[in-house]
Amino acid sequence: MSEISRASIELFVGTMNDGGTAMWILFSLNLLLWYGLGVRQYILKRWTFHHVRRLVQLHETQGTQRKAKELLDKAIVDALAAAREARKLGLKPRHHIMDALSPHFRSINTYSVLVKTIVVVAPLIGLLGTVDGMIEAFDALQTSAMFAQGASISGGISKALFTTELGLVVAVPGLIIGRSLDQKADRFALEFDQVADILSTKEDRDEI
C-alpha cells in the first residue's frame, strides 16, 4: 500500500472517529442507501420505448423468438402464459393474469422501504450525533479541558455539527433519486395493469 493511500485511510478513519459513533452509522447507512438505489435503478431500467399494446402484439406474434429484455417484457410473457392456461381451464383470465403479474408488482418495490427508511433516519442520527458532540464540547468547556488542550469551543461545535451535515448529505440525494425511482415504479405498475386489461379484454372478445 502506497504512502498516499495509507495517509488517506488514516485521514478518513480519524475524521470518522472525531464524529463519534454517529459518523460510522451514517457511513453504513450511506452504503446501504446507494446499494438499494443501484438495485432499484437496474430493475426499473427501460430498454425499449414501445407502448404496452405494441409490446403485447410483438410477443403474441413472435412468441419465444422474442427475448424478454426487461421487466415489462417478462411480465407480458408471464401474463400471456397465464391467459393461455386460463383459456384451457375455461376460467376468466383476469385473476390468472394478475396472479402471474404479482411477482413483478413486488419486484418494482424492491428496496423501496429501505431507501425511504434511510432517508428519514439519516438526518435524525446526524442530529443525535450533533447533540452528543455539543454535550461533550460543553462538558469539556466546563472542566476547562478544551482550553488545557489548546482547542477552542468553536472547534468542538464545528466537529459536532459535521454529523448533521453528513446526515443531510445522505438523505437529500436519497430523497431525490428515490422519488424519481418511485415514479418509474408507478409507471410500471400502471403498465402491468394495462397488460392485464388488454389480455382480459382480448380473451373476452375471443369468447364472443
pLDDT tens profile 106-115: 999 999 999 9
- Residue 150's pLDDT is what? 46
**Grid cell listed for 50:** 414501445
Host H or E run for residue 144: none
- Residue 63's pLDDT is what? 65
Task: Show the low-confidence residues of the chain (pLDDT under 50).
Answer: 146, 149-150, 207-208
- Residue 176's pLDDT is what? 96
- Residue 186's pLDDT is what? 94
Of 41, 97, 113, 102, the C-alpha closest to 70 is: 41
- Residue 37's pLDDT is what? 96
- Residue 124's pLDDT is what? 93
| Gap between the Cα atoms of 130 and 161, Å rounded | 5
> CA separation (Å) from 154 to 1, 61, 138, 146, 151?
36, 72, 11, 11, 9
- Residue 142's pLDDT is what? 67
Of 119, 161, 109, 126, the C-alpha closest to 32 is: 119
CB atoms within 10 A of CB 67: 8
